[in-house]
Amino acid sequence: MAEKKEAQKLIANNKKAYHDYFIEETYEAGVALHGTEVKSMRLGKCSIKESFIRIENGEVFVYGMHVSPYEKGNIFNKDPMRVKKLLMHRYEINKLAGKIAEKGYTLVPLQVYFREGKVKVEIGLAKGKKLYDKRESIAKKDQRRELEREFKERNS
């Protein structure tokens, strides 16, 4: 049976996470939202640049995820910076809690997107980069960009 390609509409991306951390594993989690927050996200008004994830009492929460208030939402709008609960399976939460207990690991939201009409967050199990690691990744990126530029010049 042929698998359907799942349509994803990207809402927010956290490019800084790939610069600051080594992403070792990724997980997908749903987000518990209110109606006006979902409407705002449909308009693409979400930011996860400064956000982080914590596990408290066996539940996963995202802090610092900014969802702009919906213009037509009036009294139903919630605080844009409120803590949002992430929906994951118990075994995934337990696995992540065990990994985070190790030194140097943290959870970072990588991207927010719609899948089948539901808001999902891609979570990365990350280990922080040192300054020299960041310099190294910048140097590799510059080298790759230079090679692509030379290749383009030769083939045009």
pLDDT digits (tens, 9 = 90+) for 125-144: 888 777 766 787 788 888 88
Evaluate whether residue 92 is within a structural domain: yes
Q: Residue 17 falls within a domain, yes or no?
A: yes
CATH assignment at residue 46: 2.40.280.10
Quick check: 55 and 96 in contact, CB under 8 A?
A: yes
Percent of the chain with pLDDT over 90: 2
Give domain status of residue 122, yes or no: yes
Domain that holds residue 64: 8-129
Q: Are 26 and 59 in contact (CB under 8 A)?
A: no
The answer to the question of residue 124 being in a domain is yes
CA-to-CA separations, 103 to 96, 120, 124, in angstroms, rounded: 13, 27, 16
User: Does residue 21 form part of some domain?
Assistant: yes
97 φ/ψ angles, rounded to the nearest 5 degrees: -60, -40
Q: What is the pLDDT of residues 76-85, one digit of tens each?
A: 677 777 888 8
Say which residues have a Cβ less than 8 Å from residue 133's Cβ, sequence separation at least 6. Answer: 22
| pTM: predicted TM-score of the whole model, two decimal places | 0.72
Total domains, the chain = 1
Residue 143, in any domain of the structure:
no
Helix, strand or coil for residue 139? helix
In a domain, residue 66? The reply is: yes
Residue 148, in any domain of the structure: no
